[in-house]
Amino acid sequence: MAKKKETARDRWLKRHKEIRFYLTEEEYKELEKIASKYNMLVKDYLVMVAKDKRVHQLYDIEIAREEARKKIEERLKQLDASLLRLLLGL
């Protein structure tokens, strides 16, 4: 049996990966509104944001803040326990 000839669509599908996720209608409308401000499609806007290093830096800063907050809370608990031991004479 002869092999089916690869179409332009087949080649296109090989080069482009599908990403699928679901948004509420409200979320989609908000994205569409923001993208239209830049005269872009929602897909193009999302790709632009994903490539924007400033977005990643902001996320990294938030992660660092959360880690620092957890360390501070843990240290405060240790200090509270030490202070309580001192006050009780243990």
Q: Which sign, positive or negative, has the C-alpha torsion 31, 33, 34, 39?
A: positive
pLDDT of residue 63: 82
pTM score:
0.52
The answer to whether residues 23 and 34 touch, using CB atoms and an 8 Å cutoff, is: no
Cα 82 to chain centroid, rounded: 39
pLDDT of residue 90: 67
pLDDT of residue 24: 95
> Which pLDDT tens digits describe the chain residue by residue (90 residues)?
677 889 999 999 999 999 999 999 999 999 999 999 999 999 999 999 888 877 777 777 888 888 899 999 999 999 888 888 888 886
pLDDT of residue 54: 75
CB atoms within 10 A of CB 42: 15
Q: How far apart are CA 1 and CA 68, in angstroms?
A: 65
Number of residues assigned to the chain: 90
